C-alpha cells in the first residue's frame, strides 16, 4: 500500500484525483506523523480539527469535479503568515496570544485551491536568522545528521520548521519566506527544493513583515514539479499589496519540458569566495557539467559588486526591520508588561525588552543606528546606492546569459549551537543568496549531492524577473541529472 506520508505533492495529487486515497486519509496520516516527530520541534501549533474539516471539504471538491492541483494536499504554514484565528506570531514572544482576524493572501490562495493546513511551523523570530536557533519556541532539529553522529544539526533558517517538516515526512510541502535566503538555505540544508520568486510575484499582505523591500513568499517541496504546482497556487496580483505586480501567473508545471538546449548559463567568477570548501566547489563544477551535457551553453560572467552584497543587506534589512517592528509596543496587540506605577514609556521599554529576543534587538539597534541623523547618508543611503549597483550587475549579466548557476550556501548544515555566539559567522551563510534578494530576482535551490559527512548540499539557479517558468525548467534538468534520492534515515525508514 502507498505510504501516505512519503509522497511527492504531485504523486499525492494524482492519487487523490485517481481515487486511490482521500484527503481525510492522508491528512490523518500526517497528523499522526507530526505527533510522533514532536522531538524535531518543527511545529509551533498543530491545527488538527481545522485540518480534518478542510480535508472533508477537499474530498467534496474532488468528488464534484472542482478539484485543483493543491486540493486535499496537507501542507504546513510558516508561523509568520497570518492565519485567521490561529497562532501567528512569527515565533516571537512579543506577539503572545495574537490570533489575526484575517487571512494572508498567499494562504487564502492555497485554501481557495483546496489545500489543507496541518499547522504553523517554527522559524527564527521575525525571520531573522540562518539556523532556526532564534525562535522563542526553541530551536528546530534537522532530520538529517552527519554519518555516525548522535548530535543534532540545524535545519537552516529562517524557514527551519517548514524545511524540517517536509524533510521528515510530516508535511507534504510547506510555505516559507525568503528575505535574504530563508527558503533557499534551509532547502539546501534539508535536501529539498526551495523557490524564492521574483519580488512582487506573491502578495505580502498578511505576512508579518521583516524587511518589506525584500520579503517574498515561496514553497519548500520534495521536487521541482511540486514547487511549480505550489508556486502557481501561491502567486498572483493582489491590490492589497502595492508592491505586488500585475503579471499573469503562468502554468509553471507545463513549462517543465526538460529541454534546455541552447540555453545560456552564466557562472559568476565572484562567487568563488575565499575559503569555499572543496566539496562545494566540486558540486558546482558537477552542476556545470550536468547542464552542459543537457545542451546548455556555459558563459563566464561577472557580478562585480558581489562582495558588497552582505554588508549592504545587513544595513538595508535591519533598517527596514527597525521601522517595521516599531509597531510592537504593548498597546495594540501581543505581550504587555504591566506593573504598579509604570509610566507609558516604561511600559513600552519593559514590553520590548521582554518581548524581543537577542538577534531581533541587535537588528533593531543596527537599523536605528544606520537610519539616525548623521549616519543615514554614510550607511543607509550608501547601501541603497550599492543595492542599485548590484541590481545593475545582474541586468548586465542577463545580456549574456539566461540563468545563473551558483552554490546555495557555503557549507552543509552545521551542528546546533556551533554558530550562535558568532553573528558574523552566521551572516556568512547568506553570501550566495542575498545578492539576488537585493536585486528582487528569483532563485531556486535544488538538492544536488551529499557532503563528505553525509549531509545534503544544494545548487542555486538564479533567474530573470518573472522568469520562474524558465528557472523551474532548468531546475528540473539539474534535478534529474543529480538524481538525489537520499532521505534522512530515521524518518524515512526503508525508503532511505
- Decide whether 185 or 476 has the Cβ nearer to ligand GLN: 185
Q: Which residues pair with 120 in a beta bridge?
A: 45, 77
Nearest distance from C-beta of residue 27 to ligand GLN, angstroms: 29
Residue nearest to ligand GLN (CB): 182
Q: Contact 135/153 with Cβ under 8 angstroms?
A: no
d(CA 38, CA 337): 31
Residue 232 CB, nearest approach to ligand GLN (Å): 22
Instruction: Compute, in degrees rounded to 10, the torsion defined by CA atoms 485, 488, 490, 494.
Output: 0
Our answer to whether residue 158 is catalytic in this structure is yes
How far from 98 is each of 125, 135, 372, CA to CA, in Å? 15, 16, 31
- Per annotation, catalytic residue among 78, 120, 141, 419: 78
Judged by CB, which is closer to ligand GLN: 112, or 425? 425
Nearer to ligand GLN, 33 or 208 (CB): 208
Using the minimum distance from each CB to ligand GLN, give the nearer residue, 77 or 291: 77
CB of 13 to ligand GLN, least distance (A): 29
Q: How far is the CB of 244 from ligand GLN (least distance, A)?
A: 19
User: Residues with Cβ < 8 Å from 361, sequence gap 6 or more?
Assistant: none
Q: Which one of the listed residues 131, 135, 158, 203 is annotated catalytic?
A: 158
- Considering the candidates 182, 188, 322, 437, report the single residue annotated as catalytic: 182
Strands 403-407 and 264-268: parallel
Question: In the complex, what is the shortest distance from the CB of residue 403 to ligand GLN, in angstroms, rounded to a whole number?
Answer: 21
Q: What is the DSSP string of 188-209?
A: HHHT-EEEE--TTSS--TTBPP
182 is catalytic: yes
CA atoms within 13 A on the CB side of 265: 28
Distance CA 6, CA 9 (A): 10
Q: Is 78 a catalytic residue?
A: yes
Instruction: Look at residue 267 and give its three-state secondary structure.
Output: strand
Instruction: Evaluate whether 410 touches 184 at the Cβ level (below 8 Å).
Output: no
Pick between residue 253 and residue 430 the one whose CB is nearest to ligand GLN. 430
* 180 versus 443: smaller Cβ distance to ligand GLN: 180
Exposure of 326 in the CB half-sphere (CA atoms within 13 A): 9
Q: Which residues contact ligand GLN (rule: CB under 6 A)?
A: 127-130, 158, 178-182, 210, 317, 430
Min dist. Cβ of residue 421 to ligand GLN (A): 16
Give the DSSP per-residue string, 310-330.
Answer: HHHHHHHHHHHHHHHGGG-SS
Give catalytic residue positions: 78, 158, 182
Amino acid at each position: 500500500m502507498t505510504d501516505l506520508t512519503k509522497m511527492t505533492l504531485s504523486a499525492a495529487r494524482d492519487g487523490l484525483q485517481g481515487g486511490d486515497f482521500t484527503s481525510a486519509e492522508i491528512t490523518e496520516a500526517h497528523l499522526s506523523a507530526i505527533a510522533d516527530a514532536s522531538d524535531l520541534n518543527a511545529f509551533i501549533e498543530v491545527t488538527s480539527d481545522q485540518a480534518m474539516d478542510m480535508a472533508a471539504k477537499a474530498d467534496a471538491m474532488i468528488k464534484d469535479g472542482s478539484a485543483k492541483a493543491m486540493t486535499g494536499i496537507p501542507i504546513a504554514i510558516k508561523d509568520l503568515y497570518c492565519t485567521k484565528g490561529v497562532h501567528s506570531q512569527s515565533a516571537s514572544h512579543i506577539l503572545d496570544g495574537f490570533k489575526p482576524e484575517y487571512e494572508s493572501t498567499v494562504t487564502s490562495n492555497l485554501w481557495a485551491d483546496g489545500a489543507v493546513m496541518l499547522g504553523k511551523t517554527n522559524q527564527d523570530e521575525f525571520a531573522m536568522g540562518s539556523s532556526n536557533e532564534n525562535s522563542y519556541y526553541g530551536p528546530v532539529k534537522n532530520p538529517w545528521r552527519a554519518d555516525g553522529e548522535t548530535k543534532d544539526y540545524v535545519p537552516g533558517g529562517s524557514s527551519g520548521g517548514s524545511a524540517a517538516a517536509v524533510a521528515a515526512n510530516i508535511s507534504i510541502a510547506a510555505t516559507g519566506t525568503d528575505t535574504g535566503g530563508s527558503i533557499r538555505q534551509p532547502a539546501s540544508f534539508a535536501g529539498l527544493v526551495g523557490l524564492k520568486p521574483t519580488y512582487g510575484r506573491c502578495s505580502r499582505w498578511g505576512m508579518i513583515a521583516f524587511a518589506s523591500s525584500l520579503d517574498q513568499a515561496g514553497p519548500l517541496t520534495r521536487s521541482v514539479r511540486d514547487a511549480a504546482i505550489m508556486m502557481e497556487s501561491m502567486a498572483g496580483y493582489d491590490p492589497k499589496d502595492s508592491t505586488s505586480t500585475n503579471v499573469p501567473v503562468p502554468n509553471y508545471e507545463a513549462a517543465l519540458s526538460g529541454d534546455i538546449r541552447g540555453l545560456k548559463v552564466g557562472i559568476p567568477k565572484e562567487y568563488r569566495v575565499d575559503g569555499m570548501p572543496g566539496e562545494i566547489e566540486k558540486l558546482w563544477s558537477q552542476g556545470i557539467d550536468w547542464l552542459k551535457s543537457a545542451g546548455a551553453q556555459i558563459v563566464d560572467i561577472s557580478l562585480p559588486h558581489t562582495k558588497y552584497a552582505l554588508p549592504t543587506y545587513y544595513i538595508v534589512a535591519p533598517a527596514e526591520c527597525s521601522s517595521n517592528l516599531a509597531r510592537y509596543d504593548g498597546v495594540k496587540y501581543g505581550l504587555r508588561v504591566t506593573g504598579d506605577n509604570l509610566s507609558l514609556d516604561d511600559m513600552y521599554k519593559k514590553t520590548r525588552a521582554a518581548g524581543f529576543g537577542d538577534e531581533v534587538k541587535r537588528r533593531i539597534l543596527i537599523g536605528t543606528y544606520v537610519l539616525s541623523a548623521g549616519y543615514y547618508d554614510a550607511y543607509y543611503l550608501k547601501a541603497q546606492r550599492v543595492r542599485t549597483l548590484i541590481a545593475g550587475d545582474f541586468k548586465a549579466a542577463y545580456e549574456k546569459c539566461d540563468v545563473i548557476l551558483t552554490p546555495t550556501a557555503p557549507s552543509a548544515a552545521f551542528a546546533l549551537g556551533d554558530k550562535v555566539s558568532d553573528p558574523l559567522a552566521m551572516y556568512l551563510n547568506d553570501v550566495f543568496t542575498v545578492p539576488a534578494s537585493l536585486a528582487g530576482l528569483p532563485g531556486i535551490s535544488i538538492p544536488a549531492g551529499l557532503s563528505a559527512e553525509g549531509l545534503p548540499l544544494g545548487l542555486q539557479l538564479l533567474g530573470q524577473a518573472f522568469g520562474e517558468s524558465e528557472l523551474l525548467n532548468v531546475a528540473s534538468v539539474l534535478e534529474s541529472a543529480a538524481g538525489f534520492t537520499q532521505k534522512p534515515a530515521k524518518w524515512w525508514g526503508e525508503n532511505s
